[in-house]
Amino acid sequence: MPAANSAHATVPRHVAIVMDGNGRWAKRRFMPRFFGHEQGMETLLRVIDVFAARGVQYLTVFAFSSENWKRPDEEVSGLMNLVLIGVAKYLKKLAAEGVRIRIVGDRAGVSDKLRAAWDEAEAGTAANTRIQLSVAFNYGGRWDVVQACQRAVADGLAPAQIDEAALAQRMALAFAPDPDLFIRTGGEMRVSNFLLWQTAYAELYFSNCLWPDFGAAEVDAALAAYAGRDRRFGGVRSAPEGVPQGA
């Protein structure tokens, strides 16, 4: 493993995750895809605590994309129900563990019942500070850029006032620093319209592990890979030539 690079904090402040592989995980067990999503939620519950224990302050996960409406009706309604089940079953536990929950995404497209569950989760954890969990639901990176532009126009900004800062303040994750580390499980090497704006300088990490199998060992492998990266943000190498820079 390459030596940790002193040019950046070795623990990422913000980790973003595409939790991929639930369907395949279930299929390998001759189970319906929804079973994989259920297990995926259990995995998420476990790893939040691991990331918090390692010092990560913000965790943003992709739970339902703007494009996931194309999935079979049964799977879509299953994922919606999973939010209701998750809030009913785990909200108290997460609140007690110091997790602050926010839902980021297009609220207009979901049911009143779901919006009420989200409101309950956000209100019930608003004072927590140990780790900030953002659940991207009915979210797309392109949607986020478009809605930020629409808000800038609605706020009366002139074209010359619409700069990076003006849009960043209106993006769905405006309260958080940009993700330092982007993790995708399940072996695919795509961003899939996740945080397009915010991951401009994120370190990318792809794991073959299917999301339901992701645990403390996989979290630590991803954090170790991150610690070895040379983050340059468009600048120059911080390590001398010939020193390995990590994956």
Q: Say whether residue 7 binds ligand FPP (CB under 6 A).
A: no
Active site residue 68: yes
Query: What is the smallest separation between the CB atom of 32 and ligand FPP, expressed in angstroms?
Result: 11
Quickly tell me which residue has 């309260």 as its tokens.
Answer: 175
Q: Say whether residue 192 binds ligand FPP (CB under 6 A).
A: no
**Residue from 22, 132, 198, 199 binding ligand FPP (CB under 6 A):** 22
Could you say which residues in the range 35-54 bind ligand FPP, by CB under 6 A?
37, 40-41, 44
Contacts 24+ apart (CB under 8 A), 213-220: 213/21, 213/25, 213/43, 214/19, 214/43, 214/47, 214/185, 215/43, 215/46, 215/47, 215/50, 216/47, 216/50, 218/185, 219/47, 219/50, 219/51, 219/54, 220/54
Tokens coding 21:
């592989």
With contacts defined by CB under 6 A, name the span among 19-27, 147-155, 190-198, 201-209 that binds ligand FPP.
19-27
Quickly tell me which residue has 């792809």 as its tokens.
Answer: 206
Tokens coding 191:
């961003």
Beta bridge partners of 18: 62, 184
Q: Say whether residue 105 binds ligand FPP (CB under 6 A).
A: no
Quickly tell me which residue has 């926010």 as its tokens.
Answer: 102
Through-space distance between the first and last CA atoms of the chain, rounded to whole angstroms = 9
Q: Say whether residue 82 binds ligand FPP (CB under 6 A).
A: yes
Mark residues 196-235: x for contact with ligand FPP by CB under 6 A, - for none: ---------------x------------------------
Backbone angles phi, psi at 163, to 5 degrees: -115, -175
Tokens coding 200:
């401009």
Give whichever of 80 and 202 is closer to ligand FPP, judged by the CB atom.
Answer: 80
Exactly one of 49, 68, 193, 230 is catalytic; which is it?
A: 68
Exactly one of 5, 20, 22, 178 is catalytic; which is it?
A: 20
Question: For residues 223 and 6, what is the distance between their CA atoms, to the nearest angstrom?
Answer: 15
Q: Say whether residue 24 binds ligand FPP (CB under 6 A).
A: yes
Active site residue 5: no
Query: What is the smallest separation between the CB atom of 14 and ligand FPP, expressed in angstroms?
Result: 18
Q: Say whether residue 63 binds ligand FPP (CB under 6 A).
A: yes
**Residue from 59, 114, 135, 223 binding ligand FPP (CB under 6 A):** 135
Beta bridge partners of 59: 15, 133
CB distance 89 to 117 below 8 Å: no
Q: Say whether residue 132 binds ligand FPP (CB under 6 A).
A: no
Give whichever of 213 and 230 is closer to ligand FPP, judged by the CB atom.
Answer: 213
Active site residues: 20, 68
- Binding residues vs ligand FPP (CB under 6 A): 19-24, 33, 37, 40-41, 44, 63, 68, 82-83, 86, 135, 186, 211
